[in-house]
Structure 1
Amino acid sequence: ALDGAALTVRKFAADPFTVEDLVRFGTMPERVAELLRACVQGRLDILISGGTGTGKTTLLNVVSSFLPPDERIITIEDSAELRLLQDHVLRLEYRPPNVEGRGEVTIRDLVRNALRMRPDRIVVGEVRDGAALDMLQAMNTGHDGSLTTVHANTPRDSLSRLETMVLMAGMDLPVRAIREQVASAVDVVVQLARLRDGTRRITHITEVTGMEGDVITLQDLFVFDHRAGQDQYGRHQGALVSTGLRPRFVDHLADHGIIVGPELFGRGQ
């Protein structure tokens, strides 16, 4: 800091926010909370995407509360911020190198070691480097239901960032192979944004449906309605509305005994 020391404080509430709090704040409607609960319990891999300060960690903490209490959960974070209330949680944290440049334990090291610790679920606070490759490998090798966050402005951008971060791992992989890994690993992208009035909202719930040629195909299930405009105080009047599309993962959830009714995806509601 050129002009003197700068201190940033990330302060979290003494009592972590619950899903009821986020519904009350308007971050998401109640039926989207029900959908996310079904996705977590149905062991879908969820990627939470958003810019800085959009509430990714808060939402990840809330979504993690849907994890069953009888499963072994391993959390991996750059700095420990998640507060899971389940009984069987193992928390791992990045360790920086000492003054001699030794002793560093990277996120990638933690993800690789977590795979040897028999986890039922892996929750990575944020992927920002080559750890993305190990995370995708974990999602594709039996660790279904994993959760992570990434910095990106749209669901499409979040998958592009994953591709870039896989290349940062130093593996000389063709782009198509990386995209096939991404399309196979990630099931749902939840996009967050901080709107101009300061509110944090979910703007997209997007399903990753597979590949067409060399392109990852997506379909939006819920999209924030910006056309509703603003009130006299500049507050957004829009809400997260369904596109009316039935997700392909509904059949997968049914195989796990989780029934999602069609009324959840009623168009325009």
Structure 2
Amino acid sequence: PLSLCGPVVTIRKFSLRPFTPRDLVDIGSLTAPMMEFLGACVRAKANVIVSGGTGAGKTSLLGALSSFVPPDERLITIEDAAELRLPQPHVISLEARPPNVEGAGEVTVRALVRNALRMRPDRIIVGEVRGGEALDMLQAMNTGHEGSLSTAHANSPRDLVSRLETMALMSGVELPASHVREQIAGALDLIVHMTRMPDGNRVVARISAVEGLRGGSVVLEDIFAWRRSPQPGFEATGTMPSVLRMLAERDERVDPRIFTLRPDGQFDGRPGDPDEPERLVTGWPGNARRFGSLLE
């Protein structure tokens, strides 16, 4: 009776084998240096949110990034409908539950986030932030629960910041908007924005660093971006994000040349070995970690 054209069935089908980081590099969703940078950030316990529209590939990228988590860590995943399949041996998967026909028995994502904090997690991975649980997750990130990962619907990294602010205010807790912005600026390290292209391909359109507050607004600095012209491809903006300090402190270093990546797959500057840039772009699992760092 709800569909005027008759019965409607929507099938959300997942592959038997989840996407790996190399799979996403091979299909062109991002480059190997970009993935190596994200992997180093995950290993260093940076807080990362993947944003994008419906069907942009957020969950696939979240699963791939989660594979960088060391196997000795205790992970707790929280989802509306369980989709993540993680390879680590110590994973606790929690799933929200809708109310029954009598309106009882509901368990929300927000309730699961709150309970997960009491389960001694090394990492909390929320499949998607949609409502008031955003505030609980931000507070968890700001109180020692590092390395949290999640996704959210948004049209851009800037739009994600606005949506997080709105969702946090949906929690029912009376907080000034300025305080919520402080929570966002203090909690998040990176925003990875996914886009579904007109031809159906999914690409990482932007990797943005959260660089604190300025004039009451959250400061975002693009690190990598997809450029459509004059030559389609991924390009580094030249920004050296502050998250590099965290990587250096935790012995997760990347070659600074990746921050000069051009859409043609080459790098600005003159590396010592002319073959190294090509290996840096196409090699796996990330030759960039072999090179020196400006942070040394």
Q: When the two structures are superposed, what TM-score results if normalisation uses the length of structure 1?
A: 0.95
Query: Whole-Å Cα distance in 2 between the matches of residues 9 and 240 of structure 1?
Result: 32
Q: In structure 1, what residue type is equivalent to 2:62?
A: L
The match for 2:194 among 192, 195, 205 is 192
1:107-256 correspondence runs (5 A): 107-228=109-230, 238-256=232-250
**Hey, what does 2:98 align to over in structure 1?**
96
Question: In structure 2, what is the Cα distance between the partners aligned to 1:165 and 1:247?
Answer: 27
3-state SS of 2:186 partner: helix
TM-score (norm 2): 0.87
Q: CA-to-partner distance for each residue in 1:26-53, whole Å, 9 max, x for gaps?
A: 0000000100110000100001000000
Structure 1 residue 228, shift from structure 2 partner: 3.7
Q: Which runs of 4+ in 1 moved over 3 A?
A: none
CA distance in 2, matches of 1:215, 1:267: 29
Identity across the alignment (%): 54
Distance 1:260 1:182 in 2: 26
Q: AA paired with 1:252?
A: M
CA-CA distance at 1:10 after TM superposition: 0.9
Aligned residue pairs: how many? 261
Residue ranges of structure 1 left out of the alignment (5+ in a row): 230-237
Match of residue 51 from structure 1: 53
Contact 2:234 2:261 in 1 (8 A): no
Structure 2 gap segments, 5+ residues each? 268-296
User: In the TM superposition, what is the alpha-carbon distance from 1:17 to its structure 2 partner?
Assistant: 1.2
Work out which of the two has the higher radius of gyration on C-alpha atoms and give 1 or 2.
Answer: 2
Q: Deviations along 1:163-193, whole A, 9 cap, x unmatched?
A: 0000110112111100000011110000000
In the alignment, the residues of structure 2 paired with residue 53 and residue 2 of structure 1 have an alpha-carbon distance, to the nearest angstrom, of 22
Deviation at 1:267, TM superposition (A): 4.7
What is the alpha-carbon root mean square deviation over aligned residues?
1.0
Match of 2:88 among 81, 86, 95: 86
How far apart are the structure 2 equivalents of 1:5 and 1:171? Answer: 41
Q: Which amino acid aligns with 1:265?
A: F
SS at match of 1:103: coil
Look up the SS of the partner of 1:59 in the other structure. Answer: helix
Identify the match of residue 262 of structure 1 among 256, 268, 273: 256
